[in-house]
Amino acid sequence: MINEPVYNELIEKYKAHYGKAPEVVSYAPGRIEVLGNHTDYNEGYVFSAAINYGTFFAISRNDAGVNRIVAGDLMHEVTFPLTGATPVKEDTWANYVIGTVAGLNQIKQQNTGFDAMFLGNVPMGFGLSSSAALEMCTAKAVCQLYTITADNVTLAKVGQAAERDYAGCPCGLLDQISSLCGVEGMLVKTDFRSLDVETVDMGPSVCFLMCNPHAKHALVDGQYATRRQACEDAAAYFAKVLPHPVAALRDVTMAEWEANKDGLDPIVANRAAHPIGEDERVLLGAQLLEKGDLEGFGKLLFDSHESSRTMFENSCEELDNVVAVAKTVPGVLGARLSGGGFGGSAVVLVKTEAAESAAKAIAEQYKAKTNKDCEVSMIQPSIGASIVYTA
Ligand code: GLA
């Protein structure tokens, strides 16, 4: 089983805390975003992957009439009612669980309480969607325990609503879909209009590094929401000026952007250029992968970062430095920020044979350039969320 030591630790802690064994245990991984930044809520395309780090969630029914959830690393317990639970202000990690359970309650009312605990190894603060991993392992376990039938898109939407209503982030569906649909060794390519998911094999000759320069950014709260708003404003403008229907920026080409951008506020125009360009890069990237052109695919990652840096302005000095350093390291094919931006990590596509030396070189050269540390993790595209145990 993937991450078995974490599973074993959770089972031991669960038994010690609740004095019984769980009835169900689920697992859900974090994700990397490989290409296609801020395209999900613009109904566009993304290449992502579930990663080899994830979270386990152990659960059984109780007759206490309340739900109990314990964070297995902190060993803090939060109790919340079966219905009508509102977000908590302390132990805010619990909101991802509470929000997900609330969403599932709308599909099928759970009429007994549960005793649950989760434990994971998704590195925190790397932008690897530890929150989506928690939502999706919660969803899988609760569905299994209460025999709730829901497909992946429904579960992803439950997680998205938990982020929006219980954690305050108006995110798209990328993180949850990637966590649910991951396949070992595969990229996940999602069309966020049809919500069709395909897997794409990159072969064993390349893998990923995640580089976290620990960028501390004050005042970034709400940046995601303002970017999203700018995209929606731009889509409304293009819907007026283009001769064909525009429901989202997915419907606008770079050529149409170029020809019509002068009618937009210059900042809104730049924001719109990013997801429009990203969609084109994802589609081109799919063709390159089909031909086995990994070098060409890697270059698109560098282009993506450049577009983030200059047009969407969701990068930061630290991430720019990581990408600049990675560009000079032998074996590196591409690098870009991954996820929302404004901090977090850069994802690096690297030849497998050079991965270890490249990881070391990036950390060393980043230190030499900035006198600061950059933490580098090796990432393997891995399996998606599943039930790993039932009594
Ligand atoms: C975050 C959000 C996703 C997506 C990315 C940017 O990870 O949760 O929905 O918008 O940022 O691509």
Nearest CA to ligand 1 atom 1: 340
Indicate whether 106 and 231 sit together in one domain: no
Task: Tell me the sheet residues that pair with 68.
Answer: 79, 115
Indicate whether 50 and 95 sit together in one domain: yes
Query: What average pLDDT score do residues 89-103 get?
Result: 97
**Cβ of residue 171 lying under 6 Å from some atom of ligand 1:** yes
| Closest ligand 1 atom to 174 CA | 9
**46 alpha carbon – ligand 1 mean position (Å):** 10
Count structural domains, the chain: 2
**Cβ of residue 43 lying under 6 Å from some atom of ligand 1:** no
Q: Name the pairing type of β-strands 45-62 and 66-71.
A: unpaired
**194 alpha carbon – ligand 1 mean position (Å):** 18
**340 alpha carbon – ligand 1 mean position (Å):** 5
Backbone φ, ψ for residue 154 (5° rounding): -60, -45
Indicate whether 20 and 124 sit together in one domain: yes
DSSP one-letter code for 381: -
Indicate whether 35 and 17 sit together in one domain: yes
Indicate whether 232 and 304 sit together in one domain: yes
Nearest CA to ligand 1 atom 11: 340
For residue 217, the model assigns a pLDDT of 61
Indicate whether 195 and 133 sit together in one domain: yes
Which tens digit of pLDDT belongs to each residue from 211-258?
999 987 654 568 999 999 999 999 999 999 999 999 999 999 999 999
**Cβ of residue 190 lying under 6 Å from some atom of ligand 1:** no
Indicate whether 288 and 229 sit together in one domain: yes
Indicate whether 214 and 330 sit together in one domain: yes
Which tens digit of pLDDT belongs to each residue from 163-205?
999 998 899 999 999 999 999 999 999 999 999 999 999 999 9
The CATH number of the domain holding residue 242 is 3.30.70.890
**81 alpha carbon – ligand 1 mean position (Å):** 30
For residue 321, the model assigns a pLDDT of 98
For residue 221, the model assigns a pLDDT of 65
The candidate with the shortest Cα–Cα distance to 316, out of 280, 293, 340, 332, is: 340
Q: Write down the residue that tokens 């799919």 correspond to.
A: 286
**Is residue 263 over pLDDT 80?**
yes
**Is residue 147 over pLDDT 60?**
yes
For residue 219, the model assigns a pLDDT of 45
Which tens digit of pLDDT belongs to each residue from 277-311?
999 999 999 999 999 999 999 999 999 999 999 99
Residue 117 pLDDT class (50, 70, 90 cuts): very high
The pLDDT mean for the chain works out to 96
Indicate whether 242 and 345 sit together in one domain: yes
**Cβ of residue 172 lying under 6 Å from some atom of ligand 1:** yes
SS in 3 state form for 280-317? HHHHHHHHHHHCCCHHHHHHHHHHHHHHHHHHHCCCCH
Q: How far is CA 257 from CA 44, 179, 248, in A?
A: 15, 33, 13
Candidate from 41, 135, 157, 171 with most ligand 1 atoms within 8 A of CB, to mutate: 171
Query: Can you tell me whether residue 56 is helix, strand or coil?
Result: strand
Residue type, 174: L
Indicate whether 322 and 356 sit together in one domain: yes
**176 alpha carbon – ligand 1 mean position (Å):** 10
Residue type, 220: V
**Cβ of residue 339 lying under 6 Å from some atom of ligand 1:** yes
Question: What CA–CA distance (Å, rounded) separates 303 from 241?
Answer: 28
Question: What CA–CA distance (Å, rounded) separates 172 from 144?
Answer: 25
Token pair belonging to 188:
């996940």
**Cβ of residue 285 lying under 6 Å from some atom of ligand 1:** no
End-to-end Cα separation, the chain, in angstroms: 17
**Is residue 89 over pLDDT 90?**
yes
Which range has the worst mean pLDDT, 130-134, 340-344, 369-373?
340-344
Q: Name the pairing type of β-strands 375-379 and 206-212.
A: antiparallel
**Cβ of residue 340 lying under 6 Å from some atom of ligand 1:** yes
Q: Are 189 and 127 in contact (CB under 8 A)?
A: no
Question: What CA–CA distance (Å, rounded) separates 10 from 32?
Answer: 25
**9 alpha carbon – ligand 1 mean position (Å):** 31
Candidate from 34, 35, 40, 276 with most ligand 1 atoms within 8 A of CB, to mutate: 40
Task: Tell me the sheet residues that pair with 332.
Answer: 350
Is the pTM here over 0.85, yes or no?
yes
DSSP one-letter code for 81: E
The CATH number of the domain holding residue 72 is 3.30.230.10
Query: What average pLDDT score do residues 57-80 get?
Result: 98
**171 alpha carbon – ligand 1 mean position (Å):** 6
Q: Are 319 and 337 in contact (CB under 8 A)?
A: yes
Indicate whether 35 and 177 sit together in one domain: yes
Number of H helices, E strands in the chain: 11, 12
Indicate whether 263 and 328 sit together in one domain: yes
User: What amino acid positions are annotated as catalytic residues?
Assistant: 175
Which domain range does residue 185 map to?
A: 4-201+382-390
Residue 19 class from Cβ within 10 Å (0-12 exposed, 13-18 middle, 19+ buried)? exposed
Query: What average pLDDT score do residues 350-359 get?
Result: 98
Nearest CA to ligand 1 atom 2: 171
Residue type, 120: G
